[in-house]
Amino acid sequence: MLTSILLATATTTLEWSPNIGIIMIVANIFAIVVGKFTIQYPQSQPELPAPQFFGGFGLPAVLATASFGHILGAGIILGLHSIGKI
């Protein structure tokens, strides 16, 4: 029964567009800014080859902010798609 309910709520697939790319980029930039002010040890080991290009972040901080940005961006994109804005 649960499977039939889940299948009934399935939506149409979302085609990629430049608007979706811009939303994902903005979400990742926002996540990096939030990470810059909230991560307690942003320069933890291992370091990246050119840390000046990554805001002085170490590998764990880059992975954390990029992951948060993608989760945030996917939520925004799916939310906007479900209400018909994109």
User: Domain ranges in the chain?
Assistant: 20-82
Please name the amino acid found at residue 24.
M
Q: How far apart are CA 69 and CA 28, in angstroms?
A: 4
Considering only residues 17 and 53, tell me which one the structure prediction assigns the higher pLDDT: 17
| pLDDT for res 50 | 72
| pLDDT for res 29 | 92
**pLDDT tens profile 15-49:** 888 999 999 999 999 998 898 888 777 777 887 77
Q: pTM of this prediction?
A: 0.75
